Amino acid sequence: MKISFAEPKLPARGFVVFLMGGDGELSASAKSLDKAIKGAISRAVEARSFVGKKGETLSVFSPEGRENLNILLVGAGLAKDLDTLRAQEIGAIVYKSLSSLGADSATVLAEAPSGAKTRGADLAAALAFGARLRDYSYDKYITYSDAKALLAGPTRLQFMVKGSAAARRQHKELDHIADGVDFARDLVSEPSNVKSPKWMAAQCRKLTKLGVKVEVLGEAQMKKLGMNALLAVGQGSVRESQMVIMRWNGGAKGAKTVSLIGKSVTFDTGGISIKPAGGMEDMIWDMGGAGTVIGAMHAIAARKAKANVIGVVGLVENMPDGNATRPGDIVTSMSGQTIEIINTDAEGRLVLADAMWYTQKRFKPDAMIDFATLTGAIMVALGREYAGLYASDEALSDKIIAAGKTVGEKIWPMPLDEAYDKQINTPRADMKNVGPRWGGSITAAQFLKRFTNDVPWAHMDIAGVAWSEKELPLMAKGASGFAVRAMDQFVRDNYEG
C-alpha cells in the first residue's frame, strides 16, 4: 500500500474519510462539505443516530452536488481517549472499512475531535501506521486470483493534515518499524518445507543491505565450539543446524550493548517424544522467537538507530529419526554443564542454552533478552493475550514491560525462584530439560537462567502471542510479529542518545 501525506483540501472524487469523535459532532471539514451537499451527511448521521463510537462507520455515497464523492465517517470514540495507540487502531479500522467497501484508494482527513490527546501530524502518522500494520496478508501461496482479491484492501491512502511534512517524516520512521513487523510475520508464516535452518539464515543475510553484519555458523563450527545441546536438537533432521549472529553498530564504540536471542525451531515435531497429530501444523511458527529478533534487527537498522544491538538466533529442525536424540541421552552444553534430555520436545531451551552462552561469552553484552515460543504452559497461565516475561534483573523487566505498554504489546511479569530451580535437578547430570507437570513455563525459564552466567537477562515466552487465531485490532489472523515494536521501543528508550 502506498501512503502519502498532503495539506488539507477536499478531494474532488473518490472515497473521502472523516473522523468523528464519540460525541456526534462533525469535524470542521465534514461540516463544510455537509453544507455544500445540502445536509446529506447530517441527515444520515441523524437517521442512524450515529455518534462516532469507536469503530462505528457510516457512508454516504454519491451525494447530490458531489456525485463523484463517496463519504465515509469513521467513529474515533471519545476525544479524551484518542491517544497514539487509539489513533493507530482507528487507522486500522479506516483501512478495514475501506477494504469492505471495495475502495482501492482514499483520502483521509486527519482531523482530531476537540480535546483529543493526539492531533495534527502525530495523529496522521499514527493513523497511517495503524493502516499500514493492518495491511498485511500472507497470500504468497494463493494462486486463485479471486481468493487473492478478497484479501486485498486499498492500495493507496492519502492523509490530509496541516503540517504534512512533519507527518511524512514521522511516517518514514514508523514505516521502517512496520517493515520489521512484516518481515517477522513473513518468516513466521512460511511453511516448513521451505523454511529450513539454511533458508532462515539466508533471510538473515538480507539484513546486510541495511548495514547489519551477518555471520553464519554451520554444524562443524558449532561442534568445535561445543554446542552439543543445540546440535542434539537438530541431529534427527536431514537439514543442517545453523546459528546466525547479526550485529548493528549504530552507537558509539564501547557504548552499552544489548543482545536479543531467538529460538528458531523451523519445525517442532517433538522429536522422539513426538507430538500428537492434532494441531502439529502450528509448529511451523516455533521459530517465532527468531522472527522477533530478526524483525527487530530490521527495524533498528532500517531507521539507523544510534545503538549497538546484537541479534543471535539458533536455527534447528526437531525431527524423529534413526539419528535423533533419545529420551535419557545426556549432552554437554557449551557452558560445560551437562543436561539429561528427558523429553525431546522440550528442545527450545536446549537451543537457547548454547545460543545464550555463546552470546555472553563472545560479546559480554550489558543485557540479554531471549524470545521463544517455549512452552504450552505459558498459554495455560496467560492465555493468548499476554506474553510472559521472566527476568534476573527487575529494572530490565520493568523497562521491557514499559516499552511494551508504549507500543501496545502486552507483557506480564512471571516469577523465578530457587524452589523452581531445584525442580530441574537430576541425579544423573547437572540438570534435566524438564521439570514436573506444574509451572512448566517457569521451570523452562529457570533452565535458561543457568546459561546466562549472571549477565542481566530477561526471557519472553511468546508461545501464546506469536500467532493469533483471531483478528486483532492492528493485525489480521496469523503471525503477529510480536515484540518487534516493543524491542524497537526498548532500544529507543534505553540505548540511544
Q: Which sequence positions are flagged as catalytic?
A: 275, 349
Close Cβ partners of 437 (under 8 Å, ≥ 6 residues apart)? none
| Encoded amino acid at 425, one letter | N
Among 89, 122, 268, 317, contact with ligand BES (rule: CB under 6 A): 268
Pattern 300-339, binding to Zn ion, x per CB under 5 A? Answer: ----------------------------------------
* Minimum distance of ligand BES from residue 288's CB (angstroms): 8
Residue 286 binds Zn ion, judged by CB under 5 A: yes
- For ligand BES, which residue has the nearest CB? 376
| Encoded amino acid at 180, one letter | G
209, burial (CB in 10 Å: exposed 0-12, middle 13-18, buried 19+): exposed
Strand-strand pairing, 57-61 and 69-77: antiparallel
Residue 440 binds ligand BES, judged by CB under 6 A: yes
* Minimum distance of ligand BES from residue 279's CB (angstroms): 8
Cβ nearer to ligand BES, comparing 294 with 346: 346
Cβ nearer to Zn ion, comparing 260 with 265: 265
Among 249, 343, 426, 468, contact with ligand BES (rule: CB under 6 A): 343
- Contact segment (CB under 6 A) with ligand BES among 9-17, 162-170, 346-354, 358-366 equals 346-354
Among 348, 388, 440, 464, contact with Zn ion (rule: CB under 5 A): 348
Residue 217 binds Zn ion, judged by CB under 5 A: no
Cβ nearer to ligand BES, comparing 242 with 264: 264
Residues 383-402 that bind ligand BES (CB under 6 A): none
Residue 122 binds Zn ion, judged by CB under 5 A: no
Close Cβ partners of 118 (under 8 Å, ≥ 6 residues apart)? 82, 83, 84, 86, 87, 112, 126
Cβ nearer to Zn ion, comparing 27 with 235: 235
What is d(CA 152, CA 478) in angstroms, rounded to the nearest whole number?
16
Binding site partner of 463, from Zn ion, ligand BES, none, Cβ cut-off 5-8 A by kind: ligand BES
- Contact segment (CB under 6 A) with ligand BES among 19-27, 193-201, 338-346, 424-432 equals 338-346
Among 347, 354, 409, 421, contact with ligand BES (rule: CB under 6 A): 347
Residues 280-299 that bind ligand BES (CB under 6 A): 282, 286
- Contact segment (CB under 5 A) with Zn ion among 21-29, 126-134, 190-198, 261-269 equals 261-269
Residue 345 binds Zn ion, judged by CB under 5 A: yes
Please work out the total of residues on this chain that contact ligand BES, with binding judged by CB under 6 A: 16
Among 222, 463, 465, 491, contact with ligand BES (rule: CB under 6 A): 463
Among 118, 373, 397, 446, contact with ligand BES (rule: CB under 6 A): 373
Cβ nearer to ligand BES, comparing 87 with 434: 434
**The three cell numbers locating residue 192:** 516448513
Cβ nearer to ligand BES, comparing 219 with 345: 345
Residue 175 binds Zn ion, judged by CB under 5 A: no
Among 217, 260, 351, 434, contact with ligand BES (rule: CB under 6 A): 434
> Residues interacting with ligand BES, by CB under 6 A?
268, 282, 286, 343, 345-348, 373-377, 434, 440, 463
> Residues interacting with Zn ion, by CB under 5 A?
265, 268, 286, 345, 347-348
